[in-house]
């Protein structure tokens, strides 16, 4: 009998998927995955998962920036400034009132965080997937960064000044935007996250 080389079993198993348990050799069947999630589902899914990091008790928002090669180049969620600020969630309020000390004065929106935390020098012609239609401040940032399209999951209507202004900004800058319709696995993900 020839001596067994160290690690030989491991190599054989990974090479031909044939396993021996001392009785009978069985060949593992290769499982074919036919229906994978599409790109929109994938990127909106990343935005949805990112939103789960937000500590905003009312509106958790996530955003994911994608370049033309389908690579993620930025991710963010709404949160308080935290660079070196210890206990930022205690210092800055998550409440809306009083207006003079409300969350709106301090919070960094998901789109803003995705842009400033980008992993690419240039995000021109990128698409941003966001779980909520962007406000005017985020739209200004997106336009100045060269983002060319927006895919959003929900909106709060367009009667509020910040969203009416956002729409005007995006329209004039020729930034395309469209509402994402959940389907298949995204729908399941939304249900799992309690969004549906």
Q: Does 103 bind Zn ion (CB under 5 A)?
A: no
Helix and strand totals (H; E) in the chain: 7, 7
Residues in the chain: 196
- Region near Zn ion per CB under 5 A, out of 20-28, 66-74, 84-92, 107-115: 107-115
Is 109 one of the binding residues for Zn ion (CB under 5 A)? yes
Q: Which of 44, 135, 169, 175 binds Zn ion (CB under 5 A)?
A: 135
Active-site annotation holder among 100, 111, 137, 162: 111
Residue 47-86 contact track with Zn ion, rule CB under 5 A, x = bound = ----------------------------------------
Provide the CB-side half-sphere exposure for 7 (13 A, CA): 3
Report the C-alpha gap between 63 and 48 in whole angstroms: 8
159, containing H or E segment: none
Task: Establish whether 111 is a catalytic residue.
Answer: yes
In the complex, minimum distance from the CB of residue 142 to Zn ion, in angstroms, rounded to a whole number? 9
Which are the catalytic amino acids? 111
Contact set with Zn ion (CB under 5 A):
109, 135, 138
């Amino acid at each position: 009998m020839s001596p067994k080389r160290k690690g030989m079993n491991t190599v054989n198993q990974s090479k031909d998927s044939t396993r021996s348990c001392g009785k009978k050799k069985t060949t593992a069947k290769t499982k074919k995955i036919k229906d994978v999630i599409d790109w929109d589902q994938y990127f909106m899914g990343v935005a949805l998962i990112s939103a789960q990091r937000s500590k905003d008790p009312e509106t958790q928002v996530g955003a994911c920036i994608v370049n033309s090669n389908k690579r993620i180049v930025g991710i963010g969620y709404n949160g308080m400034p935290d660079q070196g600020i210890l206990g930022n969630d205690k210092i800055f309020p998550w409440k809306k009132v009083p207006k003079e000390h409300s969350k709106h004065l301090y919070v960094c929106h998901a789109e803003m965080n995705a842009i400033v935390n980008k992993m690419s020098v240039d995000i021109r012609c990128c698409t941003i997937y966001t779980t909520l239609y962007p406000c005017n401040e985020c739209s200004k940032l997106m336009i100045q960064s060269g983002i060319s399209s927006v895919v959003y999951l929900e909106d709060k209507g367009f009667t509020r000044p910040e969203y009416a202004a956002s729409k005007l900004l995006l329209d004039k800058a020729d930034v395309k935007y469209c509402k994402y319709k959940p389907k298949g696995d995204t729908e399941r993900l939304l249900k799992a996250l309690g969004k549906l």
